[in-house]
Structure formats: C-alpha cells, structure tokens
Homo-oligomer: A and B are copies of this chain.
Amino acid sequence: MAPSVAVENLNPKVLKCEYAVRGEIVIHAQRLQQQLQTQPGSLPFDEILYCNIGNPQSLGQQPVTFFREVLALCDHPSLLEKEETKSLFSADAISRAKRILSTIPGRATGAYSHSQGIKGLRDAIAAGIALRDGFPANADDIFVTDGASPGVHMMMQLLLRDEKDGILCPIPQYPLYSASIALHGGTLIPYYLDEKTGWGLEISELKKQLEDARSKGIDVRALVVINPGNPTGQVLAEDNQCDIVRFCKNEGLVLLADEVYQENIYVDDKKFNSFKKIARSIGYGEDDLPLVSFQSVSKGYYGECGKRGGYMEITGFSASVREQVYKIASVNLCSNITGQILASLIMNPPKEGDESYAAYKAEKDGILQSLARRAKALEDAFNNLEGISCNKAEGAMYLFPQIHLPQKAIEAAKAAKKAPDAFYALRLLEATGIVVVPGSGFGQVSQLNFYIL
C-alpha cells in the first residue's frame, strides 16, 4: 500500500500555515546548537543567542520573587503548615497563597477547574482590570487561557467559516495571526502600518482595505490591533484608539485587541490605554461593540512565558454567542492552574504596605528599566550602522530595523532561492550565532526588516 500518511494527503490548511518565529531559521539554529554540543569549537561562536521571540527568562531575566513564592506554596500547600516556611517565604506571599487556595474548591490545585478558570481567580483578574481602567469588569467575561495564543485561536475558530471570511490584520503583524487564520481557513486582510510615521495606523488605510475586501465578496469579521505593537513597538495615541473603536462600531467589526505588552512602555509621552477603557470613555456600552482583550503572563515585566498563563476579556457578545465560546473552551477542559494563579497575580501584584512591596517594585522597575535601556542602546546602535535605520521603540520588546542590502546580496539571495532578509538572517546566524526573524515572516512589504530582542 501507499503510505497512509504523506504530506500530499494532509490537511492543506496545515501545509499553508507558516510561523516564522519558530520557522526555518530557528530549526537551523537548533541544529547548530547540537553541533556546538557534539563538536565544540567547530563554529565561529560558542553559543546561540535566541532573539527570535520575546522570551526574557531564556536570556537571563529572573522571575519576580513574590510570584514564584506564591506558586511554590500553592504547588505544595502542606508547606503552609510548617514553621520553617515563615523564614523561607514573605508573609504576604503566605497570606496570598492561603487566600488563593481558599478560593479553589477543595484547595485542589490539581483538579480541572471551571472551563473559564477558577471563579475566585477571575474575580481577582476582573478587580485588576477595573483598577487599571477605572471602569467595572466582570469575572463572567474572563476566559483564562494557556497564554494568549489559545484565546486567539478560539476567536478565529469561532468567527471563520471559510475563505470568504476575513480578518483585518496589521502588516507587519505577529505571525500568530496569519498562522491561526490559515489554520482555520479564513482570509487575512492586510492593513499596512506606515514605517515613515513610526508605524502609524491610519483609519483611511483601514477603510480602504475593508472596502477593497468587501468588493471582492469577503465578509470582514474582525479587526486585529496589537497595542503596544508587535513587532513594531509603537504605542497608539488615545485619539487614534477612539477612531479605531468608532470604526469597528460603524463597520460592524469585532475588535480583537492584543494588549499583551500593556506594561512595556518606554517613553514618557505615551501611556497604555485598554480599548475597553477607550470604548467606555466615549460612552460605548456592551451593545455597541464586540470587543476581546488578550493579556498574557509571558510579557510585561513578568516574562513568565513558560508558565502559559493569560486571559481574554470578552464584552459585547450575546449570551448565545458566549455559550459557543464557552463550549470551545470546555473541549480543552481548562487552562493550567499554575498559569491561572499567575494571571491573577500579575493583575494584582503586591501593593504599598505589603511586606513584599519594596522588593517587588525594585525587581519590576529594574526589569523595565533594563528593557528600556537595551531598546534605546540597540536603537542607537542600529541607527549608527551604515545601511540600517530603525524606528524608536516606544513599547513591547522588539526592534524592527530596516536593513538596506546591496544589490549583490539581493542577487545572492535570489540565487539561493531565499527572500533577501531570510538570506541575511541565515548568514547572520552562521556568522554570529544570533537568531533573528526576517521581516518577510511578518508580511512586511519591503521584506527587509528584522525582529530582535
């Protein structure tokens, strides 16, 4: 018989899907890493430096002590009965762990929870959102997820019926969106951010792309906005956000707001505003706008990527649509409890007066200052290099410099059947061990941009 499973008979949506931040360059880097282990000294560098993805703890960032104290106590609650624990853990970590355990039915951190997440933890997350925004938030609107990615997949799965359904996405975009849209069989409708104006998002561009898609018979279901931007690092101005919210209401689009970099802002003249706050500020209620906000424990100053925690806050959906979201969530039973606890902690960190506050604040400020310092240092370094230009990193964790390659390099890339930026990234890896992602992986028009931590 012919082999029962071959690339030719797999789901074509899977074949079509691309995910550049874990793609060809990273797979090649993993091979080189193995080579370094088996044949030390065989390459012009001693280690691989993974700058392909925001993964700060892999580059030495330490986790926030308070968060880890609470997690350890919740993982092994019998510690709470031991005298020695008082000298090993801060008093507020102990009381926080006790409070969290008291909200978990049976104190069972090893039980499946409600498919939206443990109610007490969702209450804490909602309280954190309300404090951040100055508008009420409701635990019933929170779906706790294993990082932000599964939430994005759930929304794509819900909204996309076939290739005639479209999702407006920024270009350059974080490739999770293109990958998820491909896997769920919809169509990505690009809108282009303008590199010349610091990656500006123009409503006229949104309108143009929306009308163009509609004229081709595409039913545009939603608009994805990433703020602060990934990979571009821009922070949207409040006016711009108001216009986006109005645009979504007027055009009947779901607003999918990727707000995972909400703590990562490095310039004084910008601040983070959630889209829900903006919508409520201009008087829009639940009925005006279906809105989903994604948050993750992986980013911010916490950087707890490996814990896979996060949530989405869903407002403006009817009860019957909400039931369908719940059903999709329930097919995976629940997200991991450690990640759920962490999501509640990042939305309710220690407060002034708590024993851990000073240490927590020092750790948080240290991490954010270091990220800001490194962003600035890299930005300056890039702009001082010949043939490279780079916008200001206002937020998020990345720089996205433009590399102006000489014609000969472009021809060499063509000969190797690679995009010029992919060719450059491969050569950079082989010469230095530094792993970056070519801008073409983000759909960038000029194909000459890079992603670097």
In the complex, the count of this chain's copies comes to 2
Partner of A111, one of B157, B290, B305: B305
Give the contact-size bracket for chain A.
35 or more
Tell me which of B112, B160, B221 contacts A55 (CB under 8 A): B112
Tell me whether A362 is interfacial, beta carbon within 8 Å.
no
Contact between A306 and B5, CB atoms less than 8 A apart: no
Which chain B residues border A153 with CB–CB below 8 Å? 332
Q: Taking the complex as formed, is A328 at the interface, i.e. its CB lies under 8 A from any CB of chain B? A: yes
Q: How far, in angstroms, from A313 to B231 measured CA to CA in the complex?
A: 34
CB distance from A4 to the nearest CB of B (A): 4
For A9, A298, A308, A318, the residue with the greatest tally of chain B CB atoms inside 10 Å of its CB is A308
CB atoms of A3 and B327 under 8 A apart: no
B residues less than 8 Å from A200 (CB atoms): none
* Interfacial chain B residues near A305, Cβ < 8 Å: 110-112, 333
Q: Please tell me which one of the listed residues B252, B304, B318, B331 contacts residue A176 in the complex, with CB atoms under 8 A apart.
A: B331
Q: Which residue of B lies closest to A147 (CB)?
A: B333
CB-CB nearest in chain B for A104 = B306
A149 in contact with B331 (CB, 8 Å): yes
Considering only residues 256-313 of chain A, those with a C-beta below 8 Å from chain B are 290, 298, 303-308
A43 in contact (CB, < 8 A): no
Q: Say whether A183 faces chain B, with CB atoms less than 8 Å apart.
A: yes
Report the minimal beta-carbon distance from A321 to chain B, rounded to whole angstroms. 5
Other-chain contact of A10, B17, B298, B321, B333 (Cβ < 8 Å): B321
Q: Does residue A57 face the partner (Cβ distance < 8 Å to B)?
A: yes
A78-86, A122-130, A207-215, A413-421: which one contacts chain B?
Answer: A78-86
Binds B, one of A63-71, A372-380, A389-397, A429-437: A63-71
Contact between B76 and A69, CB atoms less than 8 A apart: yes
| A15 partner residues in chain B, CB cutoff 8 A | 324
Q: B55 near A147 (CB under 8 angstroms)?
A: no
The minimal Cβ–Cβ distance linking A140 to chain B, given in whole angstroms, is 11
Given contacts A87-B84, A331-B183, contact A5 B254 (CB under 8 A): yes
Inter-chain pairs besides A30-B114, A58-B105, A75-B75, 11 sampled, C-beta below 8 Å: A5-B221, A5-B318, A22-B333, A58-B106, A65-B78, A85-B88, A112-B306, A146-B336, A147-B332, A149-B333, A306-B337
Residues of A within 8 A of B (CB): 1-7, 9-15, 17, 19, 22, 30, 53, 55-60, 63, 65, 68-69, 71-73, 75-76, 78-79, 82, 84-85, 87-88, 105-106, 108-115, 146-147, 149-150, 153, 157-161, 176, 179-180, 183-184, 219, 221, 252-254, 290, 298, 303-308, 317-318, 320-321, 324, 327-328, 330-339
* Contact sample, A vs B, 12 pairs, CB 8 Å cutoff: A2-B252, A3-B290, A3-B318, A4-B252, A5-B254, A5-B321, A12-B161, A14-B328, A15-B324, A71-B76, A149-B332, A179-B331
